[in-house]
Amino acid sequence: MLHRGTLVDDPERHSRDTADRDELEADVRAVVATPTTPRYLWTAAASRVRSDAGWGRGGILQLHDDVPDPVLPDAPGWVRLRPELSGVCGSDLGLAHAKISFVLSAIYRSRSMIPGHETVAVVSATGPGVTSVAAGDRVVVNPLMSCVHRGFEPCATCRAGHPHVCERLDEAGVTGCEAPAIGFGATLGGGWAQQVVAHESQCYAVGDIPSRRAVLAEPASIGLHAALRWQRAGDRVVVIGPGTIGLVVTAALRMLHPDLHITVISPGDFGAARAREAGADRILPPGPDAVTGIADQDGGRVLRPRMTRVPVLEQGVDAVFDCVGSSETVDLGMHLLRPRGTLVLIGAAGRQSADWSLVWHRELAVLGSVFYGPEPTLGRTTFAQVAEWLADPAFRVDGLVTHEYALDDWREALDTASAGPGRQAVKVTLRPNADVPLVS
């Protein structure tokens, strides 16, 4: 069931002529983050007492009514967009709760940012040199910006076909954005604002795909890229975590490998039901019961180390996709794998304590997975493939958007997203423009 907050229609604010949208205005409404070191440390400390410290008084996030419209960069190919829906991501919650690693501040350098990188939007105006989209088109946005978007000659990583790990993700160039992506700076806006700017090459047409499927394009691209990190060698995998990313990884694996046996580790019934809908064959609880459950049902020996809570599975699974990234889930993943198996880390693991002995003793492959990009095995980009899948009912992501809130209700949206299963929430979304119709 979809839960909605109050949607506020304000014709004076929202109804503007397309011809006027290129003009700079100072009345755009946006949720703005100011993650300065003092404010970040205050939020981290206050969050121990109040779960909403990050969006309360003095917190990192605040709603502003007078944010200047983002300006089209002085380069060809840029467009202005009005978001239909924009998702609340786990990384947005990490920012709000001051749980993002300081190591990443070397790359995410913006002192001010407008969150929202999971966006379906309508093109409202086009700048010079735009050829692939037109005003009125519905698009999903790949928020990443590599050398080509910033006006640089391609770096070595971009030339090698991996722009998602570009060497200049922190350099502004013509964009003015000192961060890897839209939604992590302020100069181009973000999905939690009424306006956002993107390059036409970041926009993928979605036609009449329902808004609540289309808004999943970005997390679904993360899921597909993670699934492709595993070069299939076997028939059994485990996905840890039934949140949005775990569910889209499951759905992507099911599309890529219809015969694959997929186990999802879920701590409760709410996640278990969602995982089955996404394509899981089996649901198991976390911790030691996951090891014994697979051994009991598939065969295999359970080895019990001294002074260790989680046993080791002999004849384990071929790959584990960790979509949580905690010490417990990283450890569980290694204990579930067969020798020479693959652990794909998708959850935003930071400084975690884990015993890595099985990595060398069993020659496990540990792979990180971030973002999306050109996919050589598909012959196209992740976003292009996902845009096609979203039009196909066989891609099992219906119902993942559980909540929708107006921009005025952004605090309630963050409360709900933070509560997760406690509020029956999977993907929580914001609707910045009440006059931009949703497609059902």
Looking at the DSSP bridge assignments, the partners of residue 430 are 86, 405
pLDDT for position 23: 42
- pLDDT at position 2 is 63
DSSP state of 439: P
Q: Give the pLDDT of residue 6.
A: 38
The terminus-to-terminus CA distance of the chain in angstroms comes to 14
Among 3.40.50.360, 3.40.50.970, 3.40.50.620, 3.90.180.10, what is the CATH number of 3-216+400-431?
A: 3.90.180.10
- 392 half-sphere exposure, CB direction, 13 A CA radius: 10
Q: Where in the chain is the domain with CATH 3.90.180.10?
A: 3-216+400-431
- pLDDT of amino acid 347: 67
Please tell me the predicted confidence (pLDDT) of residue 410: 97
Residues carrying CATH 3.40.50.720, the chain: 223-370
**What's the burial of 361, exposed, middle or buried (CB within 10 Å: 0-12/13-18/19+)?**
exposed
**pLDDT score, position 11:** 32
Residue 160 dihedral angles phi and psi, to the nearest 5°: -80, 0
Give me the pLDDT at residue 17, please: 34
239 phi and psi angles, rounded to 5 deg: -110, 125
At residue 20, the pLDDT reads 38
Options 3.10.150.10, 3.40.50.720, 3.10.129.10, 1.10.357.10; CATH of 223-370: 3.40.50.720
Taking 70 as the pLDDT cut, the residues of the chain under it are 1-26, 347, 349
Q: What is the pTM of this model?
A: 0.92
Instruction: Please give the pLDDT value at position 9.
Output: 34
Output DSSP code: residue 370.
Answer: -
Position 352 scores a pLDDT of 79
